[in-house]
Amino acid sequence: MKRLSIFVSGNGTNLQRIAEYFKDNNDVEIVNVVCNNPNAYAIERAKKLGIPLRMITRQEFNSPEFIREMAALQLDLIVLAGFLWKIPSSLIQAYPKKIVNIHPALLPKYGGKGFYGEHVHEAVVAAKEAFSGITIHYVNEIYDNGEIILQAYTALDEKETPDTLAAKIHQLEQAYFPVAIAFLIKN
């Protein structure tokens, strides 16, 4: 049995998709959802999905107790699914190549602090890029800088808006993130 923890900060559409993807898979268990934002809709989703929820404060997140708590869960993979806090070095060191993130652009472009969610799509459309996409990557100590595992592309139309691009990116995320996770935990 492979054990996952999913970290979220927002809507939780990726959490929902991943949970549904692995629902009937007896080899994979989502042992908890870690959330830093009391207003995140992901909280409702975790409750409806019946996954234990761990709300964290910044102080807790950066504490050695949190690492011990996670260690007790015997995780095989930590999945950042729209989680917007920087991961402390101590957690990264405790999980080498075991923390993965999804970013809604083709890194290394449009990555780093401040580039999240719609801000990314606004910047991509403003720059009249021909393509955007998603990047699934390992997490290291620099924002959006870890080794790339998978990228998927989509073309921008002439009349593309941040909203229409967001919808295309959403589709790529829904299609590829669970499959990438399945691949990573098998290999």
On whether the CB atoms of residues 155 and 148 are closer than 8 A, the answer is no
- Which residues in this chain contact ligand GAR in the complex, by CB under 6 A? 8, 10-14, 42, 81-82, 102-104, 116-117, 173
On whether the CB atoms of residues 22 and 30 are closer than 8 A, the answer is yes
Residue number with CB closer to ligand GAR (48 or 68): 48
Rounded Cα distance between 25 and 5, Å, is 16
Residue number with CB closer to ligand GAR (3 or 85): 85
Burial class (CB in 10 A: 0-12, 13-18, 19+), 134: buried
Least distance from C-beta 72 to ligand GAR, angstroms? Answer: 26
Residue number with CB closer to ligand GAR (73 or 152): 152
On whether the CB atoms of residues 134 and 153 are closer than 8 A, the answer is no
**Which residues are designated catalytic?**
103
